[in-house]
Amino acid sequence: MNTKPFLTLHDVRRIAAAAETEALSNRWPVTIAIVDDGGHLLWLQRLDGAAPISAAIAQAKARSAALGRRESREYEEMINQGRISFLSAPALEGMLEGGLPVFVDGHCVGAVGVSGVKSAQDAQVARAGIAALGA
């Protein structure tokens, strides 16, 4: 039987705190979503001033990153480069930059999705959260 790491509540809180710190230091009103490796929501935090729709978008970005084991930005790039048939991919809705998978010891253990500001800034917040794990 193989074993693999997983995100604990402590890990999720560390990711969320670091992502929140990054967003607040830049005065970015975002929503932060953290999911497990199956795309199931573990954490959702909408900062003051974040648009209500950002809660749905952040979750979708995180889920796409977890299920695909790649940054959600890669799906956006595929579509923008003309592979529009990828829009029909099942279970993928957040195909926009801002969702990043979390890898530990070569295993995808989940993902962070952020929404609320420019896509590159969303990704910056997600990266800051993941960096807090030190993985």
CATH number at residue 51: 3.30.450.150
Rounded to whole angstroms, the Cα distance separating 115 from 98 reads 7
List the domain range (segments joined by +) for residue 79: 9-131
Question: Please, which pLDDT band fits residue 134 given cuts at 50, 70 and 90?
Answer: confident
The model's pLDDT over 67-104, given as tens digits with 9 standing for 90+, comes to 999 999 999 999 999 999 988 888 889 999 999 999 99
Cβ of 8: how many Cβ atoms within 10 Å?
11
Alpha-helix runs per DSSP H in 41-93: 53-68, 72-80
State the total domains in the chain.
1
In this prediction the pTM is 0.96
- Among 121, 73, 120, 80, residue whose Cα is nearest residue 96: 73
Q: Is residue 3 part of a domain?
A: no
Rounded to whole angstroms, the Cα distance separating 76 from 60 reads 13
